[in-house]
A and B are shown apart, each in its own frame.
Chain A
């Protein structure tokens, strides 16, 4: 981004102003996440940087909130984490299964009414969550699954499938169908062709769709708020209650763990995206 030597002063000033604006926006985007990190190691109970922390005094830092998160008396985080993972894993499996199969059908050029069906399949993503929440609640309550894990899993499958459908159809758009035809002509049955040829090629898309579905379920509050009873509380629900009632440093410890988790997911997603682009041969 170095400016050419002949740049006039006014454009030079303008350019530095532009860089300054960009810096501010980047700080605005990322800084909030880094506030949580040091405060979760605060030795005191207040959610402000203590004088000791500003002096980097080792005594001002402690792991007590992490200790509290894991061993604290009647703390809900253990149960919430267990529930969150169970629900997210099963919801992801369901979304990936239904979504991938549907994407295979959708990318066939023989598919009738493609636009309409695509609109229905991705509708849970484009309809505001609160409306989806109300509708799903009515269904789950009607079939008597309110307050059960199964009910929450079923509703998260609804919210997760659009991501899988979109990522897998995107991967399939660059898919060379002659390879599956070649396999068939060599005597492979459709299931075998799918497992040996198609699946490995679209796997990056499937996994990144799965990641989206996992994050959607893991971070979902609105539907769970309508559906969950006390025994199927999840991490977002606990954070929601905590933030509404009293912002305690334990929440920050949990939040830090979640940020670490999202870094892991980000890295995985990024690696997958690059791999997928390489396979589809569109890497730049």
Chain B
């Protein structure tokens, strides 16, 4: 096309191309304005608070702001031997303010996390410092308690100087930074979190597997039965789906209790003796049974919607070509259901990994998951930064699962109901 070719003009005399571009842009803005309110709302109330969780989890300003002069004086200290007089003086000045404001208890708690034994010596110092004379604070402080003359304690204070820390994340996997700055595991008896992570993965995995094994046959039945029967059976799937989670958990608590119906049944068929009824609640069994039933519809629905689209003639074709029904199923039917399997497993696994309510009610001590630990720190210990750190670790795990799923199956292949 030569440049002399006349451009097509609209009736207003503007080139058509430009006019179309303008209209396109206008439409873009229009579409965006419609989405904007919800997007803004979610950004402010949800996405930024998740960012806030991150800041909270690494925030360590509390001690930094409590002992500003001390940390300034400590900058020059190499941490090998006891600090100089000026550090002691700065610490005395900072601490005097804290005692006056009655907030030295917080400092004691924080420093005690770092090294055991801080609480008592800080308390003692709070009492004694009132009678301190001016000058030579090093000697006066060291006289309060012999631990003040121990360089380890001063190193512990110095470790809290940075405003940010990743110690909460280390704590989440039962590690900590020791005095030499090396990352090591905590003592064997205090390794609770790693066990909890593994248990969460284990329960989520087996619940997903159980759900898959149970959902596949019934989804197949629902998809192949004539409409009038399948609609009726579909209610059995949908009713639990729409019923309150707590109602379903309550019914499992009734069923699984020691004098409950499941135990009655086992006694009746002679599986267990009447005086030796097994404990099926407040342990892992309870968590498995209740979670599987509660999450089962989330597996059935995607499977069903995929199976519904598979023509029955495909199986017949497979059989007529000489495959046994099993071969026909395995080579023809099963591969076609993979998108449904993927969607169902992803959904159930992700829901299971973050489950809180049901394990808290029927799980007892051995059947609780990582979410219970997060809730515990949110509500009981009020260690919100640790709860945030654990929450974010879980979130990263969940996002990683989505990523892997997207690579393997493709997120667009998901079919939900």
Binds A, one of B77-85, B118-126, B241-249, B270-278: B241-249
Q: Are A131 and B394 in contact (CB under 8 A)?
A: yes
- Name B37's closest neighbour in chain A (CB-CB): A98
Contacts of A48 in B (CB 8 A): 257, 259-261
Contacts of A131 in B (CB 8 A): 50, 53, 354, 374, 391-392, 394-395
Bound: A129/B398 CA distance, A: 12
B contact residues vs A (CB 8 Å cutoff) = 24, 27-28, 30-39, 41-50, 52-53, 56, 214-215, 217-218, 221, 224-225, 233, 235-240, 242-255, 257, 259-261, 293, 296-297, 325, 350-351, 353-354, 356-357, 360-361, 371, 374-375, 378-379, 384, 387-388, 391-392, 394-395, 398, 402, 416
Tally chain A residues at the interface, Cβ within 8 Å: 81
Instruction: Tell me, yes or no, whether A240 is within 8 Å of chain B by CB.
Output: yes
Bound: A30/B235 CA distance, A: 9
Instruction: Tell me, yes or no, whether A126 is within 8 Å of chain B by CB.
Output: yes
Q: Are B39 and A269 in contact (CB under 8 A)?
A: no
Q: How far is the CB of B258 from chain A (nearest CB, A)?
A: 10
Given contacts A1-B225, A130-B356, A266-B238, 15 further A-B pairs with CB under 8 A are A22-B221, A25-B296, A106-B35, A111-B31, A120-B39, A123-B46, A126-B398, A134-B378, A138-B53, A154-B45, A219-B245, A221-B245, A239-B244, A244-B361, A263-B239
Q: Are B30 and A110 in contact (CB under 8 A)?
A: yes
Q: Which of A108, A154, A226 contacts B378 (CB 8 A)?
A: A226
Contacts of B416 in A (CB 8 A): 166
Q: How far is the CB of B28 from chain A (nearest CB, A)?
A: 5
Q: Are A26 and B371 in contact (CB under 8 A)?
A: no
Contacts of A157 in B (CB 8 A): 41
Contacts of B375 in A (CB 8 A): 130, 133, 222, 225
Q: How many A-B pairs with Cβ below 8 Å?
A: 252
Contacts of B297 in A (CB 8 A): 29
Q: How far is the CB of A70 from chain B (nearest CB, A)?
A: 18
| Majority-rule SS of A interface residues | helix
Q: Are B247 and A128 in contact (CB under 8 A)?
A: no
Bound: A117/B218 CA distance, A: 36
Q: Which of B47, B217, B225, B259 contacts A123 (CB 8 A)?
A: B47
Q: Are B394 and A134 in contact (CB under 8 A)?
A: no
Given known A226-B379, A243-B250, A265-B242, contact A130–B374 (CB-CB < 8 A): yes
Q: Are B38 and A269 in contact (CB under 8 A)?
A: no
Contacts of B251 in A (CB 8 A): 32-33, 35-36, 255
Contacts of A240 in B (CB 8 A): 246, 357, 361
